[in-house]
Amino acid sequence: MEIKRPYLLFLGDAADPLAAKVGQGIVDWRPGNVVGQYRMENCNADMGIEDLSIAESVAKGAKTLVIGVANRGGIISDEWVKVLMEALDNGMDIAAGLHNKLNDIPELKKKAEEKGLNLYDVRHPTQTPPIADGKKREGKRLLAVGTDCSCGKMYTTLAIDKEMRERGMKSTFRATGQTGILITGSGISIDAVVADFLSGAVEELTPVNDADHWDVIEGQGSVYHPSFSGVTAGLIHGSQADALVLCHEPTRTHMRGLPHYALPTIEDTMETVLRFAVRTNPNVKFVGLSINTHKLSEEEATSYLKELEEKFGLPCVDPVRTGTAKIVDAL
């Protein structure tokens, strides 16, 4: 799956800026992928880019309308459908990462089929990946793992990929979740893959490449998250990572969604990940730690990162505060 670019970013009737965080991600990380934004009445988000009608965006070359906003109440409203139909009528594909599927709306599906256009529900993979074969593949791979879900793995890998490309290194960010897929236009929503094909999907996502090319792979879940560890295990074995980056949010007291589970320690998580990871790459190493210090003061953050660097003997960064240069230096 390769979503055609550039996009028109659909912000709909976003309740607030947070509801449009997918749109924000696209504008932050791949501004060149976007020609403008489409905002309905009552839209409380603004990406600071040009407001365009469907027709204006097509005139500027837009190929796909991308839904960059969460839908209110979990339904795709009639008002949205009206705009989406107009996009199809103007020859655009549509891509969304919503729980509800575009393909479940009969009139959209019918129109897209008639006009030979694509409706991408990136949260719902439609192809069956192969079973993993565990064979060594040329090229290098970096994977983000974490002490928990939602602790900065996507941000960290997008930032490392950006740093690498700015240095002229060969690098591709490999998205494993719906936001990352919409940002870059390709990837696979790994947690929606049938269990048997988990590692195979990751092998397919990160195929043979030049020996000096890095796949920078967005992680998911945590080996220690009781709900999602299977996903993480598949990512670790399928990626055959050469380099691992440990992501951590130091103020969190329990695992996301599970108040009855304390956060595991960084050391314990790293040790279990490594026991696992050596199975498909005996040379795998942790190359750095990426800490989300958002809730710490500048002073606290600086001293915490320094403390971890001394403890683990590895570069420790906060991709927002410090950038990821130190980790890329160490590769």
Residues that bind a copy of itself (CB under 8 A): 131-135, 190-196, 198-200, 223-224, 226-234, 236-238, 257-258, 260-261, 264, 271-272, 275-276, 279-280
Can you tell me whether residue 271 is helix, strand or coil? helix
Q: How far is the CB of 252 from a copy of itself (least distance, A)?
A: 16
Q: How far is the CB of 253 from a copy of itself (least distance, A)?
A: 16
Task: Report d(CA 48, CA 39) in Å as an integer.
Answer: 12
Q: Which is nearer to a copy of itself, 39 or 123 (CB)?
A: 123
Q: Quick one: CA dihedral 150, 167, 307, 269, positive or negative?
A: positive
Q: How far is the CB of 167 from a copy of itself (least distance, A)?
A: 32
Cβ atoms of 108 and 96 closer than 8 Å: no
Q: How far is the CB of 134 from a copy of itself (least distance, A)?
A: 3
Q: Which is nearer to a copy of itself, 207 or 257 (CB)?
A: 257
Q: Which residues touch 228 (CB under 8 Å, ≥6 apart)? A: 149, 191, 220, 221, 222
Kindly tell me the burial class for residue 251, based on how many C-beta atoms sit within 10 Å of its own C-beta (0-12, 13-18, 19 or more): exposed
Q: Token pair for residue 165? A: 């490309």
Query: Which one, of 267, 253, 249, 252, lies nearest residue 314 by Cα?
Result: 267
Q: How far is the CB of 153 from a copy of itself (least distance, A)?
A: 16
Q: How far is the CB of 240 from a copy of itself (least distance, A)?
A: 8
Task: Report d(CA 55, CA 125) in Å as an integer.
Answer: 30
Residue with tokens 């504008």: 27
Q: Which is nearer to a copy of itself, 195 or 211 (CB)?
A: 195
Q: Token pair for residue 79? A: 């008002």
Q: How far is the CB of 166 from a copy of itself (least distance, A)?
A: 34
Q: Which is nearer to a copy of itself, 84 or 231 (CB)?
A: 231
Q: How far is the CB of 30 from a copy of itself (least distance, A)?
A: 26
Cβ atoms of 133 and 175 closer than 8 Å: no
Sheet of strand 285-291: strand arrangement: 170-174, 213-217, 140-146, 243-248, 285-291, 316-317
Q: Which residues pair with 289 in a beta bridge?
A: 246, 316
Q: Which is nearer to a copy of itself, 134 or 323 (CB)?
A: 134
Distance between alpha carbon 28 and the CA centroid of its chain, in Å? Answer: 13
